[in-house]
Structure 1
């Protein structure tokens, strides 16, 4: 510490990750997913609506998030727009999450999603309107941190989507 004291801290080292909020600027929709999360279930809460995300492993972030979008949402992403590289829970984790926005169109929905075979993710894909997304941000109902940051970034960077 600054005063020279030595204190014990415990860290979770789960590597880095990537996440994307796909949105269709023409139809004014976004793709979110939900899946069973142990902490959320233990708290007795309903499933979270989340951005598509995954562990970075050894791939480049842009390459990895495109793969995750195909696996989780059955979606080919358009151009990636970098948002930030965040520390989601800095007090206890070494994890960084690279955040992106990306466009999509109906023609880019290439499959049902649901997750990679053998990973037991049990993912449900949700296409919601941008108005519904904004409503969740404004009401505080969007409880997943990475997804909240991405939705707010979309609102700030592309206000024309709500005109």
Structure 2
């Protein structure tokens, strides 16, 4: 038997309504055993988003972007440029339509079709966003742009056309530290292009899949 609970919203206060909506809410939560708990919870609502990993099965490559992230710099990290899969907020658009637009803006790809994988909560403790995950195919001739992003939005994105095995190694050694990107790369290695990973890693074509191990 799973956990069950009933809740009642007692009070809500808006803390900020700038880029997203930050609220604090007082809840009365009744647990499965009848215990009643009153608690304050903060939520940050900026809407849902979408993310995509373009894959080139012929070469075993993936297309990613590298850009400056202020929260990483705010945390005091020496390398605030993160390597990520292209992503963006839906802003009321259909997820498949919106992610095609993001692929064009960030990676210079004109994708006619995309494949939906799953929708996940990335930070369910406080952020309401559901992220819709997609993949699509591209070819070597499609990945010619060096930089993407919208300058009017302060974006400058270096476009990286990488072998999947190299991208997985970058996860292992800490060069790729973005959660949504790690999820997509692991999905590609297990379900989309496992033969490419084995080939690039020098393993037998029909052997077990060896994904990169984390750093000690």
Is TM-score (shorter-chain normalized) higher than 0.5?
Answer: yes
Partner of 2:186: 152
Partner of 1:127: 161
- The reply to whether residue 24 of structure 1 matches residue 56 of structure 2 is yes
| Counterpart Cα distance in 2 of 1:50 and 1:119 | 18
Question: Deviations 1:35-56 (Å, cap 9, x if unpaired)?
Answer: 1111111123321110000011
Are the aligned partners of 1:115 and 1:122 in contact in 2 as well (CA < 8 Å)? yes
Q: Following TM superposition, by how much is the alpha carbon of 1:141 offset from its aligned partner in structure 2, in angstroms?
A: 4.3
Are the aligned partners of 2:49 and 2:132 in contact in 1 as well (CA < 8 Å)? yes
| Counterpart Cα distance in 2 of 1:128 and 1:162 | 12
Mapping of residues 70-149 of structure 1, within 5 Å: 70-77=104-111, 79-109=113-143, 111-139=145-173, 141-149=175-183
Partner of 2:214: none
| Counterpart Cα distance in 2 of 1:10 and 1:24 | 41
Are the aligned partners of 1:76 and 1:104 in contact in 2 as well (CA < 8 Å)? no
- Specify every segment of 5 or more residues in structure 2 that has no aligned partner in the other structure, as ranges: 1-28, 199-216
Aligned CA RMSD, in angstroms, stands at 1.8
Larger Rg: 2
Question: Deviations 1:107-148 (Å, cap 9, x if unpaired)?
Answer: 333745421241111211111111101213344543111101
The structure 1 residue matched to 2:84, chosen from 22, 33, 50, is: 50
TM-score (norm 2): 0.70
Are the aligned partners of 2:119 and 2:132 in contact in 1 as well (CA < 8 Å)? yes
Deviates more, 1:47-56 or 1:140-149: 140-149
- Mark the CA change 1:112 to 1:142 in structure 2 (over 3 Å): closer, same or farther: closer
The structure 2 residue matched to 1:36, chosen from 32, 53, 68, is: 68
- Specify every segment of 5 or more residues in structure 1 that has no aligned partner in the other structure, as ranges: none
